[in-house]
Amino acid sequence: MKKPVLVPTDLTDVASKAIHQAGIIAKKAGTSVSLLHVLNEKSPSREDAEKLLKIEAERVKELTGKECEILLMEGSIFEVVPQVTGDQGFDLMVIGTHGVHGIKQHFMGANILKLVCRIHTPVLVVQKDSPLIENFRTLVMPVSSHVDFHKEIDSVLLFTALFGTEVHLYSIYKPGYEWPEQTLKNIEDAKATFELNGVRMKRVKEEQEVFAQGYAKQTLLYAGSAGADLISVMSTPSDDYYYFAAADKEALLLNDLHLPVLCTG
């Protein structure tokens, strides 16, 4: 990872948590951090927003040893953030979420899924109560039938390359249900890619034990028992909604374990 880590911020404590986590990752990668605030009717004045951003930028510089870029733009976050990530080609974005009961006037509430679905750059989503992680040791990667699953594999490789993260390639077997050919292909592609790149990997297959709509609950139970630091997921559903439809994805993003979630759009 050579390019700066982008952090959109609404100038709240949750955003500060995301900025600090981004700084840890950037320091490990030997790169810098760029802060983006999108001015709207709920923002402070441009002058006050810039002052707050400069305070955060100084903290990041102390942590990473590198200058921190500040971006102030106007418009809708659902248009500006995807545009900035696309135009500048960041390798990673880190963002905080207030959760379902978040502060409505700030953009990082329950609309977090709506936003990350529009981002082509890998996005690490953290919560207010997420721990600051110095070393991502274990990542749970649920398999899916998404035709773009290879993009999620690439996102995961960002973390395995930096931290030597062990990947748990996870699936739930539902009796009487045949996996689509695309899912089987994705599993084999992931295994081959991780082996080629020297990634430590465990292939985990569990029978369905939690009989609920969707698979998020059992996935989170496994992540907790495995001591995972991170979960990865495709932010957009696959065509047949095999594993993670929108409700499942939101349950992961706002999980009660407060685990960071790596989203690939």
CATH class of the structural domain 138-264? alpha beta
Q: Does domain 5-127 have CATH number 3.40.50.620?
A: yes
- Tokens representing residue 175 in the block: 């009796």
**pLDDT score, position 241:** 52
Our CA dihedral for 57, 60, 61, 65, rounded to 10 degrees, sits at -160
Q: Parallel, antiparallel, or unpaired for β 123-127 and 261-264?
A: antiparallel
**pLDDT score, position 257:** 95
Write down the residue that tokens 């030597």 correspond to: 164
Per-residue pLDDT tens digits for 152-171: 999 999 999 999 999 999 99
Distance of alpha carbon 73 from alpha carbon 36, whole angstroms: 8
**pLDDT score, position 244:** 52
**pLDDT score, position 242:** 46
Kindly give, in sequence order, each residue whose CB lies less than 8 Å from that of residue 71, ignoring residues fewer than 6 positions away: 34, 35, 36, 37, 84
Cα dist. 235→15, 84, 183, 265 in Å?
20, 19, 16, 5
Q: What pTM does this model have?
A: 0.92
pLDDT beneath 70: ranges in the chain? 99-110, 212-213, 238-244
Give the start-to-end residue ranges of the domains of the chain: 5-127, 138-264
